[in-house]
Structure 1
Amino acid sequence: MKSLTILRHAKSGWDAPVERDFDRPINPRGRRGAELIGQYLKKQALPVDRIVASPAVRVTETLDIFQPAADLDALEPHWDRRIYLASAATLIEVLRDTGRDAEHLLIAGHNPGLEDLALMLVPESANDPLRAEIEAKLPTSALVRMEIDIDDWHRLDIGMARIVAFVRPRDLDPALAPSMD
């Protein structure tokens, strides 16, 4: 049995003066969300033994905050440019390639790919309320934890996973809920 944790990057600063989307940083609200989600992972004692991540600035900054909060700062992420704005199919290939011997793999990246990945891995017929919440929206800094009954990441395929946790920053701090203005 393997576990996959999906982490969407923290809220980014759209007002930051950058030339490329790749270079957009996270904002103060995003920093708080990344820290809370990291603390949640640590408190729930959800193990992670390998991290694969997009090298985009908003992902690297998210992990700079998330990893110490989750007590994962000893893990060096494997930076994979393919994750940046990737489709779910590409993300499955990345997981197959980089999982190697990891039991508990974490992927950090972007939407819509990560949301599509979660929905692709969990069967629609599962009638799972967490799947329905993810289908509604996988917000920034959200974390999805799945269990997958495989012994090798090369065997990862659609419809194989079961969601065991889905948490958003607003679930941990209502002040981080989207504003209604």
Structure 2
Amino acid sequence: MKILLLVRHAKSSWANENEADFDRPLNDRGKKDAPQMAERVQEKVPRIDLVVSSPAKRAHKTAKAFAAAYNIKDDDIQLVETLYLAPASSIYQTVAGLADGNDCVALFGHNPGITDFANMLSNVRIDDMPTCSVFAVSADVGNWREFVTAPKKFLFFDYPKNPLK
């Protein structure tokens, strides 16, 4: 059984207009939402084996908040260059290449690719993954190469302003 958590980075700051997109930090809301969402996810998924993130500052900081909630060291977060503003096809390749010993993986990325990829995984359709949202699915497979094409079970979709939390 493999579980994949797709997480869009938390809300980023636009305070510095001259800052490169890659280097934008989280704003105050993002800094608050990331650990709160990590706690909510932990109630549903008690263990994460691997955290994989875009190296962009806002995605990496969001990943660090989740890693902290799961007692995963910052140094153990796997940064994947191709996840920065990745299309769904690049996310697919990243997932297919995950080490099979990791049964539950949290992957942190950006829109629109992360929403597009989430919509490929089940019959649940999302117009747009809000910042710091989490889309979770599982598949009864032994390796990640089979994961994307295998039948999946939708587990949950949650986001900071979810009225049903």
Tell me what 1:47 maps to: 47
Tell me what 2:84 maps to: 84
Alignment TM-score, normalising by the size of structure 1: 0.82
Distance apart, 1:80 and its partner CA: 0.4
Residue 69 of structure 2 is aligned to residue 66 of structure 1: no
Maintained 8 Å contact 2:2/2:147: no
Distance apart, 1:173 and its partner CA: 9.8
Distance apart, 1:101 and its partner CA: 1.7
Separation in 1 of the partners of 2:113 and 2:7?
A: 11
Maintained 8 Å contact 1:99/1:105: no
Change (3 A) 1:119 1:24: same
Distance apart, 1:154 and its partner CA: 1.4
Maintained 8 Å contact 1:92/1:156: no
Separation in 1 of the partners of 2:133 and 2:90?
A: 20
Separation in 2 of the partners of 1:140 and 1:121?
A: 19
Tell me what 2:128 maps to: 137
Separation in 2 of the partners of 1:71 and 1:89?
A: 28
Tell me what 2:2 maps to: 2
The correspondence of residues 27-46 of structure 1 with structure 2, limited to 5 A, is 27-46=27-46
Structure of greater Rg:
1
Maintained 8 Å contact 2:115/2:127: no
Percent of pairs with identical residues: 29
Q: Secondary structure at the match of 1:145?
A: strand
**Where does structure 2 lack aligned partners over 5 or more consecutive residues?**
none
Count of residues in correspondence between the two structures: 164
Q: Which amino acid aligns with 2:130?
A: P
Alignment TM-score, normalising by the size of structure 2: 0.89
Q: Which amino acid aligns with 1:151?
A: G
- What CA RMSD, in Å, does the superposition of the two structures yield over aligned residues? 2.1
Higher helix share: 1
Q: Secondary structure at the match of 2:22?
A: helix
